[in-house]
Structure 1
Amino acid sequence: MFVVSLNYKVPLTEIDRLQAAHIEWLKGCYSDGIFVASGPKKPRTGGIIIAQCPREILDARLAADPFAKAGAADYAVTEFLARMTATGLDALKEA
């Protein structure tokens, strides 16, 4: 499983311009079962994505993000093993 931290490199006006395309990209990643959760940071300096897929698939998907294609965000990816989860999230546990 991965935690992806996006950090915006451009003014929020540029992020807002790309937002609709970014949301469509997110929907596709959810539809394909790659993303588990996502949302903006507070304050709005970027976002967080939780993903569960092979690393090469994640890297390809991140490269296709409209934010990445426009050079509007940097991505820091951290891999971790979900050994414990809250009730109802057992499907996310990794051996």
Structure 2
Amino acid sequence: MFLISLTYTAPLDQLDRVRADHRAWLDQGIADGWLLLAGPREPRDGGVLLARGARAELEAKAATDPFFAQGLSTFDLIEFVPVKAATGVTMESLLA
């Protein structure tokens, strides 16, 4: 499991110009099954994604994010091994 941390490197008005493409990219990641959760950080200086898959695959996918591809953000992949979950959240559902 990976946390992908996006850090914006451009002003929000520049990001807003490609936000629709970025959100379409997120929608595709969810549809493809590798992306589980996504949302902006607060304050709005980046975003956080929860993803599953192999590191090399996720690095390649993250590099296709329109924010990154257009030089508007950077990203860090942080791998972790979930061992506990809140009631109702199953490891199987997260890792399937």
Q: Per the shorter chain, which TM-score range? A: over 0.9
Deviation at 1:76, TM superposition (A): 1.1
Could you tell me which residue of structure 2 aligns to residue 59 of structure 1?
Answer: 59
Structure 2: state its 5+ residue gaps: none
Deviation at 1:86, TM superposition (A): 1.1
SS in 1 for 2:44: coil
- TM-score calculated relative to the size of structure 2: 0.92
Counterpart mapping for 1:1-95 below 5 A: 1-90=1-90, 91=92, 92=94
Matches of 1:54 and 1:69, distance apart in 2? 20
SS in 1 for 2:78: strand
Identity score, percent: 39
SS in 2 for 1:60: helix
Matches of 2:79 and 2:40, distance apart in 1? 20
Structure 1 runs of 4+ with >4 Å offset: none
Partner AA of 1:6 in structure 2? L
Structure 1: state its 5+ residue gaps: none
Matches of 1:89 and 1:49, distance apart in 2? 17
Matches of 1:67 and 1:81, distance apart in 2? 27
Deviation at 1:16, TM superposition (A): 0.4
Matches of 1:33 and 1:5, distance apart in 2? 18
